């Protein structure tokens, strides 16, 4: 977690550029923030607790003539969110400055060692040891900052992406990484270095991905050294994110914009992968033989995990391959029995989730073939996979994942059909593919009900306990809907298999408990009706998600949201949009900012 961004170049507004970048990285953390830049030749450090936007006002009292600045958004791991723990950190002389994304594992022993040598620490963070270590090796006029950084990082264990400069040479920025992502943006009038490409949008046309162990010197040119100290060249790539995708486009929050993006997001994820005759083709999988696959493992965290749960049954039903979805955070610590003919499918929007990354290493160590569904191009996970299917949904900025989920589900479904067809089931998913092409339009119809969902949220926002229940295709959606509500609204929301209610949870039902029942007209509709009746019999309140034209469900529900008719497997695309809107408006009714839920960050790069 944490976001870092720095700029050095001809522009004199470096501080504003560095700040703008961390505002675009707010999804990586926002419990505190800080920046350092030069003011009249002297370094100025500003820090705030809470939203980095608060730095804007603090900056307005300076004349902002700096050509170098580094900035940081924090998601606390070591030490509470406070100004003293916020980055940048500086050395004892106040001339070396550093921001960090990652974790220094051996910081305790290094801190004791440095304190014994006379260094004075001002924070409780793991990061601060790094800047004091640089200080140990840096002697103004005698050793270079680059030399000092190289020696300092040789002492570290853990993960880091550092941006470092010294006020003795405010024309040079050092960027170095190991285990945490770090990219260089190449702009017309200077260089950027950041945790993701988001800060480069509209500022740098090309970017370079640093590899583990790389150190880059940015000082009018880019010079990169690898871990062995050899000067190397890393290929610059064109940035293909559009400015528009990084902006709210008139919506009050990114979460709402991204919910409304879903018809396009799903269309983009399908584009080129279904041809007019209904054939499914994944160029990314050219040459892969699925004939021998004996088992499919789908691995991810949070929403990405639920996307896997949503589709795993389809792999069994249509492709007739045993399939199981695993939580990466559990899987990585187990001793799984893996076979050579397993296929592991990793799902990660950010491509940076540590648990998913580590689970991928476990699978790779067993020699198992890996395919991934990833949104962020060239991310750490994407680079480790055998094959990557990119989601193509553009930046997802809202912390609560919305459009990425729908896209993951659609890609997984196409993959299930593709694998089934490549194993001789020629027409697998034929009807579903026809109907999938109509889903973006049907999602549009659900989006047109947003006012109804807003009213519902405003009716129920004072309730503190919610069940989301569903069966079969509604099971994973129930869990994902509950996750959305709890993460943005901080109310107790539990996703449950509707059939499981009577095995315990139904004891909780009373008139204050609200149950969202996912009950489209599908093969488990009758069972869902029984489960709704059971809740009603205990005086629980029920909001049902049902198929348009269902004349009965209104009689046993307090409220009903009607969804357009589709086939059984595809109702989840419509249900999740309704549940996302409900969660969004619920948070807004409680006056929370759904884009920045407390205690969360979008990329979870810690354990």
Does 349 interact with ligand F6R (rule: CB under 6 A)?
Answer: yes
Span from 29-37, 98-106, 296-304, 420-428 in contact with ligand F6R (CB under 6 A): 296-304
Rounded to the nearest 10 degrees, the angle between the axes of helix 262-270 and helix 403-422 is: 30
Span from 15-23, 194-202, 347-355, 422-430 in contact with ligand F6R (CB under 6 A): 347-355
From the candidates 47, 159, 486, 602, which is the catalytic residue?
Answer: 602
Q: Which is nearer to ligand F6R, 66 or 380 (CB)?
A: 380
Span from 74-82, 106-114, 156-164, 298-306 in contact with ligand F6R (CB under 6 A): 298-306
Tell me how far apart the alpha carbons of residues 273 and 271 are, in angstroms, rounded to a whole number. Answer: 5
- Which among 123, 127, 150 has a CA at the least distance from the CA of 70? 127
Tokens at residue 592, please?
């929370």
Q: Which is nearer to ligand F6R, 198 or 519 (CB)?
A: 198
User: Cβ 224 to ligand F6R, closest distance in Å?
Assistant: 27
- Candidates 210, 301, 389, 545; binder of ligand F6R (CB under 6 A) is 301
Span from 52-60, 75-83, 154-162, 299-307 in contact with ligand F6R (CB under 6 A): 299-307
Number of residues that bind ligand F6R (CB under 6 A): 14
Q: List binders of ligand F6R among 471-530 (CB under 6 A).
A: 483, 487
User: DSSP assignment, residue 274?
Assistant: B
Q: Which is nearer to ligand F6R, 61 or 599 (CB)?
A: 599
Q: Which residue has tokens 């959606």?
A: 477
Q: How many CB atoms lie within 10 A of CB 242?
A: 12
Indicate the residue whose CB is closest to ligand F6R: 302
Residue 324 among the catalytic residues: no
Site track 399-418 with ligand F6R (rule: CB under 6 A), x = hit: -xx-----------------
Does 255 interact with ligand F6R (rule: CB under 6 A)?
Answer: no
Q: List binders of ligand F6R among 84-143 (CB under 6 A).
A: none
Q: Which is nearer to ligand F6R, 348 or 489 (CB)?
A: 348
Residue 2 among the catalytic residues: yes
SS (H, E, C) 15-59: HHHHHHHHHHCHHHCCCEEEEEEEECCEEEEEEEECCCCHHHHHH
Span from 16-24, 169-177, 345-353, 384-392 in contact with ligand F6R (CB under 6 A): 345-353
- DSSP states along 139-188: -TTTS-HHHHHHHHHTT--EEEEEEEEETTSTT-EEEEEEBS--EEEEET
| β-bridge pairing 559-563 and 215-218 | unpaired
Taking CA atoms, 76 is separated from 27, 55, 292, in Å, by 14, 18, 46
Site track 302-321 with ligand F6R (rule: CB under 6 A), x = hit: xxx-----------------
Rounded to the nearest 10 degrees, the angle between the axes of helix 107-116 and helix 128-137 is: 50
Q: Which is nearer to ligand F6R, 9 or 481 (CB)?
A: 481
Tell me how far apart the alpha carbons of residues 46 and 48 are, in angstroms, rounded to a whole number. Answer: 7
Q: Tell me which H or E stretch contains 485.
A: helix 475-489
From the candidates 2, 24, 159, 301, which is the catalytic residue?
Answer: 2
- DSSP states along 395-420: ---SSS--HHHHHHHHHHHHHHHHHH
With 0-12 / 13-18 / 19 or more C-beta atoms within 10 angstroms meaning exposed / middle / buried, residue 206 is: middle
Taking CA atoms, 458 is separated from 259, 311, 576, in Å, by 19, 32, 19
Q: Which is nearer to ligand F6R, 182 or 328 (CB)?
A: 328
Q: Which is nearer to ligand F6R, 71 or 483 (CB)?
A: 483
Does 353 interact with ligand F6R (rule: CB under 6 A)?
Answer: yes
Q: What share of the chain is helix, strand, coil (3-state, %, to 5)?
A: 35, 25, 40
By CB under 6 A, name the binding residues for ligand F6R.
301-304, 348-350, 353, 356, 400-401, 483, 487, 604
Q: Which residues are catalytic, by number?
A: 2, 602
């Amino acid at each position: 977690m944490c976001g870092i961004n720095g700029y050095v170049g001809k522009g004199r507004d470096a501080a504003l550029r560095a700040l703008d970048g961390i505002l675009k990285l707010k999804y990586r953390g926002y419990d505190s923030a800080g920046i350092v830049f030069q003011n009249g030749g002297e370094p100025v450090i500003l820090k705030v607790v809470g939203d980095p936007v608060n730095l804007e006002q603090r900056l307005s009292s300076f004349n902002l003539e700096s050509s170098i600045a580094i900035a940081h958004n924090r998601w606390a791991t070591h030490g509470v969110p406070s100004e003293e723990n916020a980055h940048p950190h500086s050395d004892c002389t106040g001339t070396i400055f550093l921001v960090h994304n990652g974790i220094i594992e051996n910081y305790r022993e290094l801190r004791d060692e440095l304190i014994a040598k006379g260094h004075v620490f001002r924070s409780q963070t793991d990061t601060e040891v790094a800047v004091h270590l640089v200080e140990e090796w840096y002697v103004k006029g005698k050793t270079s900052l680059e030399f000092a950084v190289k020696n300092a990082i040789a002492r570290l264990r853990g993960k880091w992406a550092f941006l470092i400069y010294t006020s003795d040479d405010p024309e040079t920025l050092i960027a170095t990484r190991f285990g945490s992502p770090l990219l260089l943006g190449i702009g017309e009038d200077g260089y950027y270095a950041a945790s993701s490409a988001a800060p480069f949008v509209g500022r740098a046309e090309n970017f370079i991905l640093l590899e583990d162990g790389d150190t880059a010197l940015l000082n009018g040119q880019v010079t990169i050294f690898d871990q062995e100290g050899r000067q190397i060249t890393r290929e610059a790539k064109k940035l293909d994110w559009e400015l528009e995708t990084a902006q709210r486009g008139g919506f009050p929050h990114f979460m709402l914009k991204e919910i409304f993006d879903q018809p396009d997001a799903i269309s983009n994820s399908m584009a080129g992968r279904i041809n007019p005759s209904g054939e499914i083709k994944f160029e990314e999988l050219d040459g892969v033989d699925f004939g021998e696959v004996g088992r499919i493992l789908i691995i991810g965290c949070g929403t990405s995990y639920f996307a896997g749960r949503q589709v795993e049954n389809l792999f069994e039903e249509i492709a007739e391959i045993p399939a199981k979805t695993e939580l990466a955070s559990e899987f990585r610590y187990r001793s799984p029995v893996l076979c050579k003919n397993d296929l592991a499918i990793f799902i990660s929007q950010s491509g940076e989730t540590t648990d998913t990354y580590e689970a991928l290493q476990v699978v790779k160590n067993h020699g198992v073939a890996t395919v991934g569904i990833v949104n962020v191009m060239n991310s750490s996970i994407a680079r480790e996979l055998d094959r990557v299917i990119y989601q193509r949904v553009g930046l997802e900025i809202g912390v609560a994942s919305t459009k990425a989920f729908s896209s993951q589900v659609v890609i997984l479904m196409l993959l299930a059909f593709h694998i089934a067809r490549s194993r001789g089931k020629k027409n697998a998913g034929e009807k579903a593919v026809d109907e999938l092409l109509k889903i973006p339009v049907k999602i549009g119809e659900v989006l047109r009900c947003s006012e109804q969902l807003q009213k519902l949220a405003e009716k129920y926002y004072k309730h503190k306990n919610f069940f989301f229940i569903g069966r079969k295709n509604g099971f994973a959606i129930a869990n994902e809907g509950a996750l959305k509500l709890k993460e943005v609204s901080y109310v107790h929301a539990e996703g449950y298999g509707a059939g499981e209610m009577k095995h315990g949870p139904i004891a909780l039902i009373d008139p204050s408990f609200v149950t969202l029942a996912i009950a489209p007209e599908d093969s488990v509709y009758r069972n869902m009706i029984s489960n709704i009746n059971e809740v009603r019999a205990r005086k629980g309140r029920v909001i049902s998600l049902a198929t348009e034209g269902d004349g009965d469900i209104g009689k046993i529900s307090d409220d009903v949201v009607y969804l357009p008719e589709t086939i059984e497997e595809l109702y989840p695309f419509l249900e999740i949009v309704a549940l996302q809107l409900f969660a969004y408006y619920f948070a807004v009714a409680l006056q929370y900012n759904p884009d920045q839920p407390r205690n969360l960050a979008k990329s979870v790069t810690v354990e």
